[in-house]
C-alpha cells in the first residue's frame, strides 16, 4: 500500500490517503502536490465540513473540502477541490462548476459531476463515477469501479481490478490494467487493455480504436468503423458494420470477423488465426504471419492471401481470389450449399501438396468435377454441382489426386 499526503500548513491539517494500487500512486501524489501548491498560493481556501457547502467566498477563490470519509459532501458551484480521506464510503455531489477536483482514498467513492470539467482520483474501494459533460479525467486504483461518461470528453485509467465503463457522445481514451467492460457510445473512442485480465468491448455507434493486452479480448465494432490490434491474449474481434474497419491479430490466437465493404483483416505472428469475411468486399491477409491460418470468404468480392505457413481457404457464395501460403500444403475447401460463387486460385501447386477439398457434393463428386474441366487463357476452370466455378490460374490440367472428398 503506497501513501499519498496533501501537506498541511496555514492552519490546515494534512490529509493522508492509502493507495491500493501503486500504479496510480504517482498520479495521486501529483494531484496532492498541485492542491497543496494552490492552497499555499491562496487560490484555494481550506474548509473542514460535510453536507451543504457554505456560500462562495467574496473573492471568488475556490474552496477546499476536506472530509474524513463517510456521509455526503456537496461540491460548491464554483472552482473546488474535494479531498476524501478515511476508509469509509463517501458520496460527493458535483457542483457542475468549470473546474472540480476530487481526490479520494480507499473507502470507496460515489461521485456525480453534474457537468463541468472534472478530475477524479480514487485510490481504492468500490467506486462509481459519473461525468455529465466537459473535459474529464478519472484514475482509479485497486477497487471495482463503474464509470459513466454519457457526455463530454475525457481520459479514464483504471487499476488492477474489474472496471465497467459506459461511454457517450464525446471523445474518450480508456486504459485498464485489470478486467474491463466497455459499452461504447457515438463518439471517437480509444480503448487500451494493458494487463493480463479479460476485456469485453461493445463499440455501439462509435469510431473505435482498440489495443489488446495480455488477456483475452472480445471486441464488437458495432455499427461504426473500427480499428483493432489484438494482444498476446488473443480473442475474438468483429468489424463494425459501417465498413472500412481494419483488424490486426496479436501474438495470441485470434478470430477476426469482417462485415462490410473495405474491411481489412490481418493475421499476425506464429500463432494460428481465423479470418472470416462477411457480406462486403474485403481483404483477408496472412502476409505478416508464419502460422497455419484459416481464411473464409463471404458473400462479397474478397481477396484471401496466405502467409509463410500453410493455409485453409474456404470459399463463400461471392467471388473470391485465393492465394495459397508459401510454407507448405494449402487446402481449398468448397462446401455444398455454402458456396455458389466464383473462385480464382493463384499459385496452386499439387507437387507441394495443395489440394481441393469437396464436402457435401456426393460420392462421385471428384470424377464429376474433373469432367467439367475447361482450359482457357486464364487457366483451368472446374464447375461444381452447385454451379460454383473454380479457376486455377496458370494451370492446364489437374490430376484426380488433387481433388479430395471430406
**Residue-wise pLDDT tens digits, 17-44:** 444 444 455 656 666 677 777 777 767 6
Q: Is residue 206 pLDDT above 60, yes or no? A: yes
Q: Is residue 193 pLDDT above 50, yes or no? A: yes
Residue range 216-220: mean pLDDT, rounded? 98
| Residue range 41-98, pLDDT digits in tens | 767 666 655 555 555 554 445 667 767 667 788 777 777 777 776 677 888 888 777 7
Q: Is residue 5 pLDDT above 90, yes or no? A: no
pLDDT in the model for residue 326: 94
Q: Is residue 397 pLDDT above 60, yes or no? A: yes
In three-state secondary structure terms, 333 is: strand
Torsional sign, CA 222, 227, 231, 235: positive
Write the CB contacts of 267 (distance below 8 Å, at least 6 apart in sequence).
249, 254, 256, 273, 275, 285, 286, 288, 289, 291, 293, 307
Q: In whole angstroms, what is the distance from residue 147 CA to residue 399 CA?
A: 63
CB 89 within 8 A of CB 70: yes
- Where is average pLDDT lowest: 94-98, 331-335, 360-364? 94-98
Mean pLDDT computed over every residue of the chain:
87
In three-state secondary structure terms, 23 is: helix
Q: In whole angstroms, what is the distance from residue 173 CA to residue 157 CA?
A: 8
pLDDT in the model for residue 22: 47
pLDDT in the model for residue 100: 84
Residue range 302-326: mean pLDDT, rounded? 97
Please identify which residue in the block is written with the cell numbers 465503463: 165
Nearest by Cα to 199 from 153, 168, 230, 157: 230
Q: In whole angstroms, what is the distance from residue 224 CA to residue 321 CA?
A: 27
pLDDT in the model for residue 391: 98
Instruction: Grade residue 389 by pLDDT with cuts at 50, 70 and 90.
Output: very high
Element holding 223 (H helix, E strand): none
**b/e map 69-83, b = 16+ CB within 10 Å:** beeebbbbbbbbbbb
pLDDT in the model for residue 47: 63
Q: In whole angstroms, what is the distance from residue 326 CA to residue 306 CA?
A: 7
Phi first, then psi, for residue 107 (nearest 5°) are -80, -10
Query: Which of residues 267 and 109 earns the better pLDDT score?
Result: 267
Burial of 406 (0-12, 13-18, 19+ CB in 10 A): exposed
Nearest by Cα to 284 from 294, 299, 272, 271: 294
Q: In whole angstroms, what is the distance from residue 305 CA to residue 308 CA?
A: 10
Residue range 170-189: mean pLDDT, rounded? 94
Q: In whole angstroms, what is the distance from residue 345 CA to residue 322 CA?
A: 5
Question: Over pLDDT 90: what percentage of the chain?
Answer: 62
pLDDT in the model for residue 132: 82
CB 384 within 8 A of CB 335: no
Query: pTM value?
Result: 0.88
Write the CB contacts of 371 (distance below 8 Å, at least 6 apart in sequence).
none
Torsional sign, CA 390, 392, 398, 401: negative
Amino acid at each position: 500500500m503506497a501513501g499519498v499526503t496533501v501537506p498541511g500548513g496555514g492552519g490546515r491539517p494534512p490529509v493522508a490517503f492509502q493507495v491500493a494500487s501503486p500504479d496510480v500512486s504517482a498520479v495521486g501524489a501529483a494531484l496532492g502536490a498541485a492542491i497543496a501548491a494552490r492552497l499555499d498560493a491562496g487560490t484555494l481556501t481550506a474548509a473542514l465540513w460535510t453536507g451543504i457547502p457554505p456560500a462562495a467566498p467574496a473573492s471568488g477563490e475556490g474552496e477546499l473540502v476536506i472530509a474524513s470519509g463517510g456521509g455526503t459532501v456537496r461540491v460548491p458551484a464554483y472552482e473546488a477541490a474535494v479531498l476524501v480521506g478515511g476508509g469509509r464510503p463517501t458520496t460527493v455531489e458535483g457542483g457542475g462548476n468549470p473546474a472540480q477536483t476530487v481526490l479520494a482514498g480507499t473507502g470507496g467513492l460515489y461521485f456525480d459531476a453534474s457537468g463541468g470539467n472534472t478530475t477524479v482520483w480514487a485510490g481504492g474501494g468500490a467506486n462509481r463515477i459519473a461525468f455529465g459533460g466537459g473535459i474529464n479525467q478519472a484514475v482509479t486504483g485497486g477497487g471495482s469501479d463503474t464509470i459513466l461518461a454519457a457526455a463530454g470528453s475525457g481520459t479514464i485509467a483504471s487499476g488492477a481490478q474489474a472496471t465497467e465503463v459506459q461511454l457517450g457522445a464525446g471523445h474518450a481514451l480508456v486504459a485498464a490494467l485489470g478486467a474491463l467492460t466497455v459499452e461504447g457510445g457515438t463518439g471517437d473512442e480509444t480503448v487500451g487493455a494493458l494487463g493480463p485480465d479479460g476485456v469485453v468491448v461493445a463499440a455501439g455507434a462509435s469510431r473505435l480504436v482498440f489495443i489488446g493486452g495480455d488477456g483475452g479480448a472480445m471486441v464488437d465494432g458495432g455499427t461504426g468503423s473500427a480499428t483493432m490490434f489484438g494482444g498476446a491474449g488473443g480473442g475474438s474481434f468483429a468489424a463494425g458494420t459501417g465498413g472500412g474497419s481494419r483488424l490486426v491479430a496479436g501474438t495470441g490466437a485470434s478470430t477476426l470477423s469482417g462485415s462490410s465493404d473495405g474491411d481489412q483483416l490481418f493475421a499476425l505472428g506464429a500463432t494460428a488465426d481465423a479470418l472470416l469475411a462477411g457480406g462486403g468486399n474485403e481483404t483477408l491477409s496472412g502476409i505478416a504471419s508464419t502460422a497455419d491460418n484459416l481464411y473464409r470468404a463471404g458473400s462479397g468480392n474478397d481477396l484471401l492471401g496466405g502467409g509463410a505457413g500453410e493455409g485453409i481457404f474456404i470459399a463463400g457464395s461471392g467471388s473470391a481470389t485465393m492465394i495459397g501460403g508459401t510454407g507448405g500444403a494449402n487446402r481449398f475447401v468448397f462446401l455444398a450449399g455454402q458456396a455458389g460463387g466464383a473462385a480464382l486460385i493463384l499459385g496452386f501447386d499439387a507437387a507441394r501438396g495443395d489440394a481441393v477439398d469437396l464436402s457435401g457434393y456426393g460420392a462421385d463428386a471428384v470424377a464429376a468435377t474433373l469432367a467439367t474441366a475447361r482450359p482457357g487463357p486464364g487457366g483451368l476452370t472446374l464447375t461444381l454441382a452447385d454451379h460454383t466455378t473454380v479457376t486455377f490460374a496458370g494451370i492446364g490440367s489437374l490430376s484426380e489426386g488433387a481433388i479430395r472428398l471430406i
